[in-house]
Chains A and B, each alone.
Chain A
Amino acid sequence: MNRHLISAADLSRDEALLILDTADELARVADRPIKKLPTLRGRTVVNLFFEDSTRTRISFEAAAKRLSADVINFTVKGSSVAKGESLKDTALTLEAMGADAVVIRHSAAGAPHRLARWVRGSVVNAGDGSHEHPTQALLDAFTIRRRLGGGREAPAGAADHQADHQGEGLDGLKVTIVGDVLHSRVARSNVLLLSTLGAEVTLVAPPTLFPVELGGWPCTTGYDLDAALPKSDVVMMLRVQRERMNAAYFPSEREYSRRYGLDSSRMALLPQHAIVMHPGPMNRGVEIAAEVADGPRSTIVEQVANGVSVRMAVLYLLLSGLDPAKATTGADR
């Protein structure tokens, strides 16, 4: 493993599978009477959130606490950042406090990359602007593998079944990611990670919501959702990010919903085994209809639970080994 997790592209297939396999084992901790492991006792994880977030921050906090790490939450409101402190000065403050890992969310793409040069601890990207969100991609891959791994549906709640997926990729699975690709860090990280794991990714969006340059992405693209659905094993709906839209990307929400929203009539086009995912938070009635989001083939709640297991795996693999400050080489690339 690298010392940091900045981009889904940094992960080789073996590293990604190691994270998923580790998460598979750690998921069982949630079923135990004592949901805690002593592994990261005495280590400090700082949640540095420059952007609003509920599930990601809470998920990282729960993951770190289950591994017995100390968690310091740092949000912009009420911090010196509101007084104009720079990212670097904030980083040096955290460094002085001895943070072993910094989980950062920032509105600027590349902020975690910069931060990684200023702190000695591990940096985990929890979303930087419209760039990347690697732990979301990992939890999505984990959810897909649990539901569809090995080409069969795992019966819900069968604990013994989960071990069967160890070491398995997502080879041959067809994943369709729909919606606001332009503003989505989730889309980019998922395209990179899922293709590393062998899945075939298709992006479907209105022409205005595609980035200008998609040449380097390992995926195919399309504008017609109805044509893509019948051959999809997984449909991942993206949130329409109104807060990042200062221009009109489509005529109206109603029209977007008609052409790119997932409702029950479109659900009928999907194969029987296909699952519906959404990274949350949802705009019910815009990109996804309420009855689809709450339906049995939706994994939205499962994704949140899996997020804790995957983030535990990431923190464990980044932090449990050699102390990065003492390690010379080998632990870091």
Chain B
Amino acid sequence: MPAGLSASVGHKSGHKPVLDAADIGRAVTRIAHEILERTRGAEDVILLGIPTRGVPLAGRLARCIEQVEGRPVPVGSVDITMYRDDLRLRPARALGHTDLPTAGIEGKTVVLVDDVLYSGRTVRAALDALNDLGRPRAVRLAVLVDRGHRELPIRADYVGKNLPTSQREVVRVLLAEVDGQDAVLLGASPAAGTPGRQEGARP
């Protein structure tokens, strides 16, 4: 798991920091305000993080919205492993945690939260997973980094940073809750043939 790799390893292997902790904090605050603005106070909003790093991000957004509005926002997680389209290309994976607010998602505005938006396949899987969990009124997408190279007609509604990348590059998001520190790193892709599970390299 990349959780074991500290940022210092990342720096040594030539990863360039793109966002630091303060940048990430500002981006999260801005997204929280945008959600409030566009949903007019986040009345029926549920924040659902996509494991691994979407979950702490959803939690941060929820705390931020609560600070502004003085009212808690339901937050949960939706695991997409069973809905992936590349399950048969790799060994079986451990499952993440699906944890819905008790009220469910029926008729609510669901904001999916993930760290990196790349091919769009993760979000496609998340939409399929939501389909089996209920019928939200609307589904929105918030990501910390949009690195381009979409393979499906999917776009984000809330973006922390648009990061132009080449497909050979790897984007790694580190969050204090998982990795012990906040940073977004951009680096060259690992050696060919290495089955890396970098967040940004996720198909």
User: Is B92 a contact partner of A28 (Cβ separation < 8 A)?
Assistant: no
Q: Are A25 and B133 in contact (CB under 8 A)?
A: no
Report chain A residues within 8 Å CB of B133: 32-34
Binds A, one of B8-16, B41-49, B79-87, B143-151: B79-87
B134 touches A33 (CB 8 A): yes
In the complex, are the beta carbons of A1 and B95 less than 8 A apart? no
Give the distance in Å from the alpha carbon of A319 to the alpha carbon of B132 in the complex: 22
B99 at the interface (CB under 8 A from A): yes
Known contacts A25-B98, A163-B97: A317-B92 contact under CB 8 Å: yes
- Asked, given contacts A32-B132, A33-B134, A38-B128, whether A320 binds B92 with beta carbons under 8 Å apart, the answer is yes
- B87 with A39: CB separation less than 8 A: yes
Q: Which residues of A contact B96 (CB under 8 A)?
A: 25
Q: How far is the CA of A190 from the CA of B89 in the complex (A)?
A: 34
Q: Which of A1, A34, A38 contacts B92 (CB 8 A)?
A: A1
* CB within 8 Å of A: which B69-110 residues: 79, 82-83, 87-99
- A25-B79 contact, Cβ under 8 Å, with A32-B132, A33-B134: yes
Complex contact A331–B91 (CB within 8 A): yes
Interface string of A132-165 (1 = CB under 8 A from B): 0000000000000000000000000000100100
SS class, residues of chain A in contact with chain B: loop
A38 touches B88 (CB 8 A): no
- Does the CB pair A321–B134 fall under 8 Å? no
Question: In the complex, A318→B53 CA distance in Å?
Answer: 27
Within the assembled complex, what's the spacing in Å between the Cα atoms of A38 and B132?
Answer: 10
Inter-subunit contact A316/B98 (CB<8 Å) = no
A320-B93 Cα distance, complex, nearest whole Å: 8
Q: How far is the CB of A232 from chain B (nearest CB, A)?
A: 32
B132 A25 Cβ-Cβ under 8 A: no
Chain B contacts with A in 101-143, Cβ cutoff 8 A: 128, 132-134
Cβ contact within 8 Å between A316 and B92: yes
Question: Does B88 contact A22, Cβ atoms closer than 8 Å?
Answer: no
Given A32-B132, A36-B132, A321-B88, A22:B99 Cβ within 8 A:
no
| A21: Cβ under 8 A from any B Cβ | yes
Q: Say how far A103's CB is from chain B's closest CB, in angstroms.
A: 17
Among B79, B87, B128, B134, point to the contact of A320 (Cβ < 8 A). B87
A37 lies within 8 A of B82 (CB): yes
A26, closest chain B residue (CB): B95
In the complex, are the beta carbons of B91 and A38 less than 8 A apart?
no
How far does the alpha carbon of A316 sit from the alpha carbon of B97 in the complex, in Å? Answer: 16
A209 to chain B, nearest CB (A): 39
Known interface pairs A36-B132, A37-B132, A39-B82. Does A28 touch B98 (Cβ–Cβ under 8 Å)? yes
A25 with B95: in contact, given A32-B133, A38-B82, A38-B83 (CB under 8 Å)?
A: yes
The interface centre, meaning the residue of A22, A36, A330 with most chain B CB atoms within 10 A of its CB, is A22
Q: Which of A21, A319, A322, A331 contacts B95 (CB 8 A)?
A: A21
Which chain B positions have C-beta within 8 A of A37? Answer: 82-83, 132
CB neighbours (8 Å) of A330 from chain B are 91
Is the CB of A323 closer than 8 A to any CB of chain B? yes
Interface: A18 (CB within 8 A): yes
Question: Are A21 and B94 in touch, CB under 8 angstroms?
Answer: yes
Complex alpha-carbon distance, A26 and B132, angstroms: 14
Please give me the residue from chain B that is nearest to A34 by CB atom.
Answer: B132
The 8 A CB mask of B7-40 against A (1 = contact, 0 = none) is: 0000000000000000000000000000000000
Take A26-B95, A36-B132 as given contacts and tell me if A322 and B90 are in contact as well, using a CB distance cutoff of 8 Å. Answer: yes
Residue of B nearest to A318 (CB): B92
Measured between C-beta atoms, what is the minimum distance from A208 to chain B in Å?
A: 44
From residue A221, how far is it (CB to closest CB) to chain B in Å? 36
Q: CB within 8 A of B89: which of A18, A21, A34, A322?
A: A322
CA distance A318 to B99 in the complex (A): 25
Q: How far is the CB of B86 from chain A (nearest CB, A)?
A: 11
Given A25-B79, A32-B133, A163-B99, A18 contacting B88 (CB threshold 8 A): no
B132 in contact with A321 (CB, 8 Å): no
Q: 17 A-B residue contacts at CB 8 Å?
A: A1-B91, A18-B94, A21-B94, A25-B79, A28-B98, A32-B133, A33-B134, A34-B133, A39-B83, A39-B87, A67-B82, A316-B92, A320-B93, A321-B93, A322-B88, A322-B89, A323-B88
| 7 closest A-B pairs by CB | A321-B92, A25-B95, A321-B91, A37-B82, A39-B82, A34-B132, A317-B92
Given contacts A21-B94, A38-B83, A321-B93, 4 further A-B contacts (CB under 8 A): A25-B96, A39-B83, A316-B92, A331-B91
